[in-house]
């Protein structure tokens, strides 16, 4: 549809008509995973900012902090001591969001006020003994140890009685609610499938059962089309300087999704074959996974020359498939495709972040910078960490 041409001041001139340009004109994009839209307003990127500025994050931390409850040999908040670990280390969270046992729910006061008891367990996954090394500063071989620990916990928790879902995630940076800068992530395992991954699984199932294979992308279970296989296949076919791919290798692709909400959001997933969960990865795929995690997180830090804040979560099959068992054809879990979401808040600099407020809370998600523009900025960054350049 023809629209008014933008003036130099960023306002529309109704006397001039122009062809639709997604890098200039407001539009909506649909997220087929969660069945929601995002409003894209690229003409707002020149909007002046006089709002909140985040305090600069510390660029240098000690290798060991005697006050840190995650450093080797130190006391946890529970009073227990951490072992003097030399690699990735995990322990049960002292402040777990769910508990191992849940009592029966009371009778609801009204059908609109129901209670569902939940149970489970939470773990803390320390990536490295060094207090000052986030994932972006680790070597790929060290990241492989993190991946192995993710797999171990996913299988351990996912095979426990009553557990229906295991969520692995990392909050990096104080502005994302991280309470300790020591590099670590978490695992929450519980007796229900949470809202967002549940919707993704429904969407993946719907596409598999009703969608059509429109490319030579890998297929999912039952030789059916997979939404994420199709999407990744389409993205890697786009010309590098026009698309949303940030970095890729022989097994994985990291891209700013077509429907991204956060300014520099990244979707990371395997694209050569359909993989439902971490425990299905082959050795070569694990190595490639570690390499691309290193490249993504280094690009993030290099964007604004800071320890780049984000929330990262792994979505996959809710729990491992017990050996020798099969899922019924209508079971949503069988349609899962392993992928990672990186949701970073920073927008214009190390101190200016995006807020999900106002219209975005009451209407729908909105962004200014287009996914294509964000991908181009990330793609053009150096893969050598900025702190390593400073040390030379």
Annotated binding site for Zn(2+): 68, 71, 131, 182
Tokens of 205: 């199932």
Per the CB < 8 A criterion, the answer to whether 229 and 361 are in contact is no
Integer angstrom CA distances of residue 223 from 209, 214, 293: 11, 14, 30
Summarize the annotated binding site for Fe cation as residue ranges: 200, 315, 339, 341
Q: Exposed (0-12), middle (13-18) or buried (19+): which is 216, by Cβ within 10 Å?
A: exposed
| Count of all residues that appear for the chain in the document | 392
Supply angle C-alpha 321, 324, 329, rounded to 5.
60
Does residue 184 have an active-site annotation?
yes
Closest CA to 168 of 183, 182, 149, 181: 149
Check residue 225 and report its DSSP letter.
Answer: B
Q: Please say whether the beta carbons of 236 and 248 come within 8 A.
A: yes
Pair of tokens at residue 41: 């307003």
Q: Output the DSSP codes for 270-325.
A: E-SS---SGGG--HHHHHHHHHHHHHHHHHHHHHHTS---EEEEEE--SSPPPTT-
Active-site choice (184, 190, 233, 337): 184
Residues annotated as binding site? 68, 71, 131, 182, 200, 315, 339, 341
CA dist., res. 82 & res. 72, Å (int): 6
Residue matched to tokens 């429109």: 214
Distance of CA 337 to the CA centre of its chain: 14
Give the span between the Cα atoms of 39 and 50, in whole angstroms: 23
Q: To which residue do tokens 């910078």 refer?
A: 369
Q: What whole-number distance in Å separates Cα of residue 232 and Cα of residue 217?
A: 8
CA triple 109-362-268, angle to 5 deg = 100
Residue 2 sits at φ, ψ, to 5 deg, of -70, 140
The residues carrying an active-site annotation are 184
């Amino acid at each position: 549809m023809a629209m008014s041409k933008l003036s130099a001041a960023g306002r529309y001139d109704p006397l001039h008509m122009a062809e639709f340009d997604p890098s200039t004109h407001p539009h909506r994009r649909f997220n087929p995973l969660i069945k929601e839209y995002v409003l894209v307003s690229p003409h707002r990127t020149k909007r002046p900012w006089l709002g909140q500025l985040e305090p600069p994050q510390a660029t240098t931390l000690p290798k060991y902090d005697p006050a840190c409850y995650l450093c080797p040999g130190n006391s946890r908040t529970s009073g227990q001591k951490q072992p003097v670990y030399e690699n990735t280390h995990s322990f049960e969270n002292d402040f777990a969001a769910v508990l191992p046992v849940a009592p029966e729910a009371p009778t609801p006061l009204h059908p609109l006020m129901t209670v569902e008891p939940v149970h489970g367990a939470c773990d803390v996954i320390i990536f490295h003994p060094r207090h000052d090394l986030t994932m972006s500063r680790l070597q790929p071989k060290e990241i492989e140890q993190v991946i192995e620990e993710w797999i171990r916990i996913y299988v351990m928790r996912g095979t426990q009685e009553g557990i229906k879902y295991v969520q692995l995630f990392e909050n990096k940076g104080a502005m994302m609610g991280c309470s300790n800068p020591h590099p670590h992530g978490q695992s929450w395992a519980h007796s229900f499938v949470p809202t967002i991954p549940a919707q993704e699984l429904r969407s993946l199932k719907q596409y598999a059962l009703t969608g059509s294979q429109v490319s030579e992308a890998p297929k999912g279970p039952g030789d059916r089309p997979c939404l994420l296989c199709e999407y990744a296949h389409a993205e890697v076919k786009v010309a590098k300087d026009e698309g949303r791919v940030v970095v890729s290798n022989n097994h994985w692709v990291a891209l700013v999704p077509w429907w991204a909400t956060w300014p520099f959001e990244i979707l990371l997933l395997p694209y050569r074959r359909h993989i439902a969960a971490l425990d299905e990865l082959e050795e070569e795929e694990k190595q490639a996974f570690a390499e691309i995690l290193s490249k993504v997180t280094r690009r993030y830090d290099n964007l604004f020359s800071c320890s780049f804040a984000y929330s990262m979560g792994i979505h996959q099959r809710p729990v491992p498939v017990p050996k020798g068992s099969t899922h019924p054809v209508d079971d949503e879990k069988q349609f899962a495709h392993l992928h990672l979401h990186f949701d970073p808040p920073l927008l214009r600099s190390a101190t200016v972040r995006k807020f999900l407020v106002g219209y975005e809370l009451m209407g729908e998600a909105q962004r200014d910078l287009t996914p294509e523009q964000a991908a181009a900025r990330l793609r053009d960054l150096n893969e050598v960490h900025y702190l390593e350049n400073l040390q030379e």
